[in-house]
Amino acid sequence: MSLAIFDLDNTLLNGDSDHAWGEFLCEQGIVDATEYSQKNDYFFVQYQQGTLDIHEFLEFALRPLAELSVDRLSELHAQFMQVKVEPMILTKSLSLLQKHRDQGDFLLIITATNHFVTAPIAARLGVDAILATDPEIINGCYTGKVAGTPCFQSGKVTRLHHWLKETHHSLQGSSFYSDSRNDLPLLELVDHPVAVDADDALTHTAKQKGWPIISLR
């Protein structure tokens, strides 16, 4: 059994679930639409440019989780899945996941987007496990803070190494699919890196290194 690792946003999904969750909160009137939308777009551009301050972003992105009850969040997320996530799911992504499943691989999503947003998406896609940025939870409630190492850039490598020790999986024969320059640390770690509908920086690196470049669109 080999590890088949996948980034989520703009890789398996035709869109960014983190940014879409922010849009959804605006549309539902949960947050101030004008102010929140501007900040949501600001951080998204930073992410695309590879300049995102992950801690500054998480302070912004996790705050709404602390301001709503768990039951209300659950209701909102169920609606979010139908309205925002389902249209992002790609037929070719499902086929790629099934291909690795048929090969007997272990399917792992590793994403910078927080676990609240992404865990139900991972379940919908039928993967075996997910590593995501963990929001802090105290006494069953979100605090608006992050717990542990954010699953972003080199943090993905850190989190993966911890997970490998805990689960006794190996990177031998491993593959990783991603669209983003932010994932270069992990792409350089696995045996079979694959650029998927990649940004310009990752496309350039993939061509230099001879990595496969594919599209799931």
Please say if 32 is a catalytic residue.
Answer: no
Tell me if 130 sits within 8 A of 111, measured CB to CB: yes
Reduced 3-state DSSP string for the chain: CCEEEECHHHHHECCCHHHHHHHHHHHCCCCCHHHHHHHHHHHHHHHHHCCCCHHHHHHHHCHHHHCCCHHHHHHHHHHHHHHHHHHHECHHHHHHHHHHHHCCCEEEEEEEEEHHHHHHHHHHHCCCEEEEEEEEEECCEEEEEEECCCCCCHHHHHHHHHHHHHHCCCCCCCEEEECCHHHHHHHCCCCEEEEECCCHHHHHHHHHHCCCEECCC
Q: Which residues of 66-84 are buried (b: 16+ CB within 10 A; e: fewer)?
A: eebeeeebeebbeebbeeb
List 9, 105, 179, 197, catalytic entry:
9
Residue 9 among the catalytic residues: yes
Selecting among 7, 16, 179, 183, the annotated active-site residue is: 7
Catalytic annotation, residues: 7, 9
